[in-house]
Amino acid sequence: MKHQIRTSLLAALVSATMCLALAGCSRRPAGESASSNGSAKNENAAAQSPSQASSSDQASASSSETPSAAASKSDSLANPEASKSEPLASPDARKSGPLASAAPQGERSPQTPPPPPPRTYTISAGRPISIYTTSTLSTKTNRAGDSFVGTLTSAIVDKDWVIARKGATVEGVVTSSDPGGKVKGVASLTVVVKRLQLADGRKVELSTSSFTHQAKTTMKKDAIKIGGGAVAGAVIGAIVGGKKGAAIGAGVGGGAGTGVVLATRGDPATIPSETPLTFRLRSPVTVVKR
């Protein structure tokens, strides 16, 4: 009896052990599949983690933006060309704004320096002005007030500035034209310079000393005329009345010669063309360079 009970318990134990073994075998593949499924899910999660991380970063950044920054960002996204065409202001530009450009009240803004004064040259008083006449001047043809023209004999320069060139036009005027008296005195002609042409074409007024030319005396010619008349009268008187007639004729002839001299003027005062004349300035002349 005991042996049967022991046998039945042993059989029950064996059957229970086999059942447990079968149950363990059936549960092991399911665990393995679960673990394989878990590893696949982990790989997918690892593949998706960068994008999810970036999206999460963007989400956190967007959540941390201020309303004004979010509004500007939305405007830039809505109009990308406008955002590209508007450059950012540099720090220097921001510093040079209205507040920065406002100068202190006690200081003045720098002004442009004035231009340098024009160059000038003064032809001093007493300086000689020499010219050549270009036409003949005579008491026989010219009267007081007549104008004449000459040329400058030498240039007037100041270092590298040519004020008046050699040969520049010089204008003058006859101030006196005296043909001389019939009894005494000789003819005389007086002239002065009035204007000078500069190298740039302008003309300046001049006040100069005068130049006077007198005719040569005619005493020798007068003596010849008187003596010739006396000789001619003596010859005629001798033919007519001998010695007494010669003496009378000489006196008459000499008187006639003297009358001719007294009735005739002397030679005119003449200044030929190309004659050098020198004048002196009476007052200074200042020339401004253009």
pLDDT, tens only, 231-258: 555 545 555 555 555 555 555 555 544 4
b (16+ CB within 10 A) / e for 278-287: ebebeeebeb
Task: Say what the pLDDT of residue 7 is.
Answer: 78
CA distances in angstroms from 253 to 182, 246, 247, 264, listed in the order given = 20, 10, 10, 17
Task: Say what the pLDDT of residue 218 is.
Answer: 58
Q: Pick from 65, 80, 285: which is nearest to 196 by CA?
A: 285
Task: Say what the pLDDT of residue 278 is.
Answer: 97
Return d(Cα 57, Cα 68) in angstroms, integer: 20
Return d(Cα 218, Cα 216) in angstroms, integer: 7
pLDDT along the chain (290 residues), means of 10: 72 76 57 46 45 45 47 50 50 49 60 91 97 97 97 97 97 95 78 98 97 80 52 52 54 50 70 97 96
Q: Pick from 139, 130, 265: which is nearest to 214 by CA?
A: 139
Q: Pick from 129, 137, 133, 276: which is nearest to 215 by CA?
A: 137
Task: Say what the pLDDT of residue 8 is.
Answer: 77
Start-to-end Cα distance in the chain:
157
Q: Please check whether residue 134 is in contact with residue 264, taking contact to mean a CB–CB distance below 8 angstroms.
A: no
Task: Say what the pLDDT of residue 258 is.
Answer: 47
Q: Please check whether residue 214 is in contact with residue 191, taking contact to mean a CB–CB distance below 8 angstroms.
A: no
Q: What is the CA radius of gyration of the chain?
A: 67
Which phi and psi angles does 87 have, rounded to 5°? -70, 150
Helix H, strand E, coil C: the string for 229-242 is HHHHHHHHHHHHHH
Where do we find the tokens 């998706």? 48
Return d(Cα 173, Cα 191) in angstroms, integer: 6
Q: Please check whether residue 138 is in contact with residue 188, taking contact to mean a CB–CB distance below 8 angstroms.
A: no
Task: Say what the pLDDT of residue 289 is.
Answer: 95
Task: Say what the pLDDT of residue 61 is.
Answer: 42
Which phi and psi angles does 125 have, rounded to 5°? -65, 145
Task: Say what the pLDDT of residue 239 is.
Answer: 57
Q: How many helices (H) and strands (E) does the chain have?
A: 6, 13
